[in-house]
Amino acid sequence: MINRNPQLDKNRVLQHLLTTEGLPASILLQILDTAESFVGVTERDVKKVPLLRGKSIFNLFFEPSTRTRTTFEIAAKRLSADVFNLNIAVSAQSKGETLLDTVDNLSAMNADMFVVRHVQSGAAHLIAKHAKPGIHVINAGDGRHAHPTQALLDMFTIRRYKKEFHNLKIAIVGDILHSRVARSQIHALTTLGVPEVRVIAPKTLLPSKVERLGVHVFHDMNAGLRDIDVLMMLRLQKERMQGANLPSSEEYFKNYGLTPEKLRLAKPDAIVMHPGPMNRGVEIDSMVADGNQSVILPQVTYGIAVRMAVMSILAGHQV
């Protein structure tokens, strides 16, 4: 059988984390289970284990993102790896070096892992395909395509609060069209057996034929929120408000912003999630963001443990 998933080796073992699409539930659960043990580490006085001592991890951020880069950096340092942050947008690339030249140079410095953020969809796949055997690649967000560690930390948060996936109704609300987070979330949720995933958005912010991903589509937020266990809000980027996708941010908030009144339509114990950073008063009301159903800050904490899990699972597999 030909192995078509570039993330897995011939023994179906994870070599790179590029997308949640096509990954078996067993691997997603392995990451979540391993992350459980790392939560304990992050709560100790000494928040460090020696697992990746001597490994070199390069954060290759071709697109700026302080938050995501910092969480990867913290995760790597808590595993005792040596971390190198490269803001490539203002260095090698501006001098004309190609993406793959950059990768070759860093490989020659005996890198063990690349964490890649890039504005182009597929950049992490390209680097994984090109990198020397033994170098593992983690996609930290590529274009509109995928953001697998964000999706995994979301799955981890859901499991922590709801215990099981197989009895949940989950809604993803907002700009599905431009969201790499939403894509990765949908693939992970369906793989983990969530029976009903809804997307709630105006037609202008939904990809065509989104139903093919196995989701139910709602344009009316009030209808979409009924009986929901988990609400996953998405960030609305400013350029979408200024462009042709939406009339105004006020109009968007009126229809798709999560207010306490709208939240009451979901189940009383529903949790509210957001990948951050939030636009308060655009996609979410502060009363909800800071309310007792919000798990937005725990998501950030769990993000460290999940990234530690991914890094250690990858680094432990030798070619």
Which position among 12, 243, 316, 319 is part of the footprint of other proteins (CB under 8 A)? 316
Residue 235 DSSP one-character state = P
Q: Does 74 bind other proteins (CB under 8 A)?
A: no
Q: Does 8 bind other proteins (CB under 8 A)?
A: no
Give the nearer residue to other proteins in terms of CB position, either 35 or 289: 35
Question: Distance of CA 227 to CAs 67, 253, 272, 314, Å?
Answer: 33, 21, 14, 38
Residue 236 DSSP one-character state = P
Phi, psi of 55 (to 5 degrees): -85, 145
The count of chain residues that interact with other proteins, using the rule CB under 8 A, is 21
- Residues 260-299 close enough to bind other proteins by CB under 8 A: none
Give the nearer residue to other proteins in terms of CB position, either 66 or 318: 318
Minimum CB–partner distance for residue 287 and other proteins (Å): 35
Give the nearer residue to other proteins in terms of CB position, either 46 or 244: 46
Q: Does 190 bind other proteins (CB under 8 A)?
A: no
Q: Does 45 bind other proteins (CB under 8 A)?
A: yes
Which position among 1, 2, 4, 50 is part of the footprint of other proteins (CB under 8 A)? 50
Q: Does 133 bind other proteins (CB under 8 A)?
A: no
Hunting for tokens 């339509």 — which residue is that?
265
Minimum CB–partner distance for residue 299 and other proteins (Å): 20
Q: Which residues of 18-49 are buried (b: 16+ CB within 10 A; e: fewer)?
A: bbbbebeeebbeebbebbeebbebbeeeeeeb
Region binding other proteins by CB under 8 A among candidate stretches 15-23, 32-40, 101-109, 145-153: 32-40
Q: Does 7 bind other proteins (CB under 8 A)?
A: no
Q: Does 33 bind other proteins (CB under 8 A)?
A: yes
Minimum CB–partner distance for residue 181 and other proteins (Å): 26
Classify burial at 91, counting beta carbons within 10 Å of its beta carbon; exposed 0-12, middle 13-18, buried 19 or more.
exposed
Which position among 8, 51, 241, 265 is part of the footprint of other proteins (CB under 8 A)? 51
143: left (phi over 0), alpha (psi -120 to 50) or beta: left
Q: Does 82 bind other proteins (CB under 8 A)?
A: no
* Residue 192 contacts residue 28 (beta carbons within 8 Å): yes
Q: Does 89 bind other proteins (CB under 8 A)?
A: no
Q: How far is Cα 58 from Cα 109, in angstroms, rounded to an integer? A: 10
H or E element at residue 114:
strand 113-118
Q: Does 30 bind other proteins (CB under 8 A)?
A: yes
Q: Does 46 bind other proteins (CB under 8 A)?
A: yes
Q: How far is Cα 39 from Cα 48, in angstroms, rounded to an integer? A: 11
Q: Does 44 bind other proteins (CB under 8 A)?
A: yes
Q: How far is Cα 301 from Cα 167, in angstroms, rounded to an integer? A: 25
Minimum CB–partner distance for residue 104 and other proteins (Å): 24
The distance from CA 278 to its chain's CA centroid, rounded to whole angstroms, is 15
Rule CB under 8 A: which residues touch other proteins?
30, 33-34, 36-37, 39-41, 44-46, 48-51, 312-313, 315-318
